Structure formats: structure tokens, C-alpha cells
Amino acid sequence: MIIEKIVTNIEKMDKSEIEKRHIEKVYLESAHLVKRIQRVKTDHGNEIGIRLKEQRDLLAGDVLYMDDKNMIVIDVLTEDLLIISPRSIKEMGTIAHQLGNRHLPAQFEADDMLVQYDYLVEELLKELDIPFKREDRKVKQAFRHIGHSHG
């Protein structure tokens, strides 16, 4: 089976529509969410080719296939993250500036900043006394580097 288009995202579906179908999952590392062409295997051992026609990243919850009884859904593996919880706008500005200088991609959930684990960033957070914790967590989208040079 080759998937060329995302059907929908499970978050946009009614609970009753989801419950009446058997769910098969494709587990991806967040870095693979940016790949429009790839071969994957479901948790049931079925191989699927993904060749998206549209220019978009995959997201956790994307439905690759759906019929009356079954659906195949993207899920994301957990990864080692630093969850940064600044106490003030000053702390947020300070750490955002520091991470921006390193071109480190970040995501935001509520008042937290999420970055992939890096021991140098962990040391910086300790040095700046900015609250953080390290945990394995799923993200909904890929950490995407923004192309930029200082030249």
C-alpha cells in the first residue's frame, strides 16, 4: 500500500468514529515526521510506503488510511527532552536568546519550552538558574531547524 494523502488527523474526528474502527499504528521518531517519502511498518507488521504529494510534515495522529472497520494512524516515539519552565518574561527572553544563538529548535506547550536533550543546554540552565526537568516525552511535530547563517 502506498499512501499519497493524509485522510485526516485523529484529533479532528468524533470519538464514536474512532471507537468503531480497529487502530493500527505506525511509530516514528520525530525526525522522520519531516520525510514525505519513506517506507514504514505498522505495529501489526504491515509495510506501507508513504509518498505524500502535498508539501507538509507528518503529525502525530495523522490518519494514513481509513475504511469502515480499520484505520492506520501515525504515532511518535518518546524522546529525551529538556522541559524548560521560565518563571518570568526575563528568564524566557534570556534562554530563548541563548538557544537561538545555538540555532537549537524549540517547541512550546502551555508555558513550557521543549528542546531535545543536550548536556550543554542542561549546564546552561543550571548556570542561569532557570527551572527545567529532563523527561522522555512525545512531541506532536518534528523539531525543525530553521536555515540561517551569520554570513
Q: Residue 46 — pLDDT band, cuts 50, 70, 90? A: very high
2-76 CATH fold: HSP40/DNAj peptide-binding domain (2.60.260)
Q: Encode pLDDT of 81-126 as tens digits.
A: 999 999 999 999 999 999 988 888 888 988 899 999 999 999 999 9
Q: Where are the domains of the chain?
A: 2-76, 79-137
Q: What's the rounded Cα separation, in Å, for the pair 70 and 10?
A: 13
State which H helix or E strand residue 95 sits in: helix 89-101
79-137 CATH fold: Alpha-Beta Plaits (3.30.70)
Model pTM score? 0.76
Average pLDDT over residues 50-66: 93
Q: What's the rounded Cα separation, in Å, for the pair 120 and 130?
A: 14
